Amino acid sequence: MATWEDGPEYAPRVRPQAFLIPEAEPLAPVHTLAPAPAYPEAEPHFNPPSGDAPELAGLVPSLAPGRNPNVPFEVVTAAVTAPGPNHAGSPSATRSPYEPFGPPGPSLKGYLPVQPMVDPTAQLNPAPFPAPGTQQWFAPPPPQQAPAAPPAVTIGQIFTAITPAVLITFAVGALFAWLSLFMLALAFTLSARIAYRRESVRRAFSVAFVILAAFGGVSLLTDGWNADVLFDSLASGAQLACWLLPLVVFGIVGSALRAGERPDRTG
């Protein structure tokens, strides 16, 4: 039992008047294990067995009755030799080990895939070349079939592939010069929705921006830093790009559709 001597957490909340040792029986002493006995000093001595030793011939196991290992076992009835129908269907006394267990199951006909039959009249190998000097040798080769024409592409399909949003921004930029810069940048952003030859379309916009920067550089070299003249020069270049870029994009997307290309993957 813990007391106040074991720590302050065991002290009573109210200080007692006196501290008395409780009356309890003393603890029983702990029994310790006895030490292990010491090793004997002398070598242990073993006495030989008393009595006569048995004869060695009597310890040899008897071989009779035994069996000839060259002779097979004689089995009267087993799972393999159980009576059953033979190949002819009549019961037999012994079952052939080549017969299946139990009655035969349903026929597997119909469960296996049918192998395709080759038409005996089909020409497996190409016809041999005619003999030299004959009439067939000098005859012209048979006419070959012309390659299939590519599918026709309509203007509506090209407009749909370019997306109406890109065409509308080009049209607004081409009509209003003061909006051409903003419309050209917006058309470049919306061109990401074009699903055919995106790299070529972006390259065309990059060329337009380089030409536009050249317009600005010529304006700065000619008239100096004049905001109005610089804006007019850039607006004129952007308006010209809004007229020419639709034709370039129209040709890029149209050639992709005529070639039967698939849309580029997004992301």
Rg (CA), the chain: 54
- Could you give the 3-state DSSP secondary structure of residue 91? strand
**Given pLDDT bands bounded at 50, 70 and 90, which one contains residue 114?**
low
pLDDT at 87: 45
* Highest mean pLDDT (candidates 136-140, 157-161, 201-205, 226-230): 201-205
pLDDT at 211: 86
Kindly state the tokens that stand for 172. Answer: 């607004």
The lowest-confidence range among 104-108, 141-145, 232-236, 245-249 is 104-108
178 closest CA partner among 234, 123, 225, 134:
234
252 closest CA partner among 240, 237, 264:
264
Q: What is the mean pLDDT of the chain?
A: 76
CA distance 22 to 10: 16
Instruction: Tell me 132's DSSP state.
Output: T
Residue pair 197/264 in contact (Cβ under 8 Å)? The answer is yes
Residue 113 half-sphere exposure toward CB, CA atoms < 13 A: 3
Kindly state the tokens that stand for 140. Answer: 């012209």
pLDDT surpassing 80 at residue 28: no
More reliable by pLDDT, 133 or 47:
47
- Say what percent of the chain tops pLDDT 70: 75
Mean pLDDT of 1-15: 77
pLDDT at 77: 57
0.75 exceeded by the pTM?
Answer: no
- Could you give the 3-state DSSP secondary structure of residue 85? strand
